[in-house]
Amino acid sequence: MMLGFWLCLTAILLLGMSYFFFYQAKGILRIKQLMEIKSTYATRTTGPKRMVVGGSDVLYSFDTDRVGRETSMPTVNFGVNVGLGMGFLLDMAREQAESGDDIVLCLAYSLYHKPAYDVFAYEYYRMYDKRKLNRFTWKQQAYYLIGNVKLNMGYKQKQFDIAESGAYINVSGALLPDEKNKPLQFPAHFTKTEAVLALEAFCEECKRKNIRVRITYPSTLGFDIYHESAYLAELTAYLHENYEVIGEPKNYFVPKTAIFNSVYHVNSIGQQERTERFIEELTERK
């Protein structure tokens, strides 16, 4: 009995160590690929550039090739994955930003109240930069390790056309499953989380470096309950009081016909509408 227990425990430890040091998660490989496409485009630009930064909602929402053409400023779609966390996404923007640049942060609502470095940030650092794992407590590392193992088991790679500037394009159809057709869950009230403090520090840093930062809201499937949300009202008030803001949440609630496969993922209809509105907003706010 005891021998079997110790053999089982040893096998589990060996599997865990093998995963930690060697396993290449397909989802993170995809994130790395997307980041390289976007960074390559940003590096090739000359003069001031615009970066639209956020999670996968940005990836689907903004045709940045078109935005760049119609506003005469190279525009990079730095939408990646909300599961990386606010801190990771801001670090990514920080690495590419230069004096004179224009950053538009289009942040999914969960980024404000979730950890600054979230589940996929852990997995990214595990694969590419283990020194940064010290951002997590041992308890968090164990939690995220187990969480990523589960997520990797169910991961399915999606293939879309990617524009030169890093946006998904030609995403057709309305494939939202019934189990995802429900409102986002918000905290009861807005508070200054670690992620919000990271946002404040980032904006102060950009101000010192002559980098313009504006904040806008994500395109997402609209529900009536959002108009009654104290959290959304308090978040909106905080943002308008402290930052240069484009629009209000209600401006970007979209119908189901504009949604692809998630409440945050618009299809080509939603992308065209958001892109055209964004170009108008940029033109009005030069």
Express each pLDDT in 254-281 by its tens digit.
999 999 999 999 999 999 999 999 999 9
Residue ranges of the chain whose pLDDT lies below 70? 1-19, 22
The phi, psi pair for 185, rounded to 5°, reads -100, 125
Evaluate whether residue 8 is within a structural domain: no
- Please give the pLDDT value at position 156: 76
Helix/strand/coil percent split, the chain, to 5: 60, 15, 30
Evaluate whether residue 181 is within a structural domain: yes
Are 48 and 100 in contact by the 8 Å Cβ rule? The answer is: yes
The distance from CA 235 to its chain's CA centroid, rounded to whole angstroms, is: 18
Nearest to 61 by CA among 280, 239, 269: 269
CA distance 244 to 209: 16
Evaluate whether residue 41 is within a structural domain: yes
Evaluate whether residue 1 is within a structural domain: no
CATH number where 160 lies: 3.40.50.1110
Nearest to 210 by CA among 92, 99, 85: 99
The residue type at 197: L
The full length of the chain comes to: 286
The distance from CA 269 to its chain's CA centroid, rounded to whole angstroms, is: 21
Evaluate whether residue 10 is within a structural domain: no
- Please give the pLDDT value at position 7: 52
Evaluate whether residue 118 is within a structural domain: yes
Evaluate whether residue 17 is within a structural domain: no
- Please give the pLDDT value at position 105: 99
Evaluate whether residue 125 is within a structural domain: yes
The residue type at 183: P
Q: Is 278 helix (H, G, I), strand (E, B) or coil?
A: helix
Q: Is 54 helix (H, G, I), strand (E, B) or coil?
A: strand
Are 64 and 163 in contact by the 8 Å Cβ rule? The answer is: yes
- Domain containing 157 equals 29-284
- Please give the pLDDT value at position 157: 73
The count of domains in the chain is 1
